[in-house]
Amino acid sequence: MVIVRLERNEYTPDKTFGYFYVNGKYVCLSLEDMVRKDAAGEGKIPGRTAIPAGRYKLNITWSHRFNKMTLEIVGVPNFTGCRCHAGNTEEDSEGCPLTGTTKDKEGVYDSRAALQKLWEAVLKALITDPDRQAWIEIVDTKEPLG
């Protein structure tokens, strides 16, 4: 089993920064919309909030929006189409995790190169995994603001 871990550890009122790991090895940075506590039981708000912390199936599927194969996060409550993809600021995401190799307070950069690193790390791990299954664990390592 391949485990992609997204550790979120830096929060602002409108964005969330973190790190991607594949089977325990650092791969790249992440950026998402804000993390929202789910006190009302509403789940994720598309385009406005990050994926809730938890464990989700990670599939490789075709994206019509990106016109290529992507890493799709499956099973997010009340939301479909969550994918790891390139982008620089939370405005480039509808709640999906973006990738980057560098960052500043505004966003992440070299996003396509980082996405390629994540893609290759997951594929390499899947090739050697007898189960050919991948999961993503999204963890808030500090208490979110919202």
Domain residue ranges in the chain? 2-140
Is 138 within 8 Å of 56 (Cβ atoms)?
Answer: yes
pLDDT digits (tens, 9 = 90+) for 7-23: 999 999 889 999 999 99
pLDDT digits (tens, 9 = 90+) for 26-37: 999 999 998 876
pLDDT digits (tens, 9 = 90+) for 106-143: 999 999 999 999 999 999 999 998 888 999 999 999 87
Q: Give CA–CA dist 51/76, Å, rounded.
A: 7
Q: Residue 39 pLDDT > 50, yes or no?
A: no
List Cβ neighbours of 80 (8 Å cut-off, separation of 6 or more).
none
Is 44 within 8 Å of 77 (Cβ atoms)?
Answer: yes
β-bridge mates for residue 86, sequence order: 99
β-bridge mates for residue 83, sequence order: 72
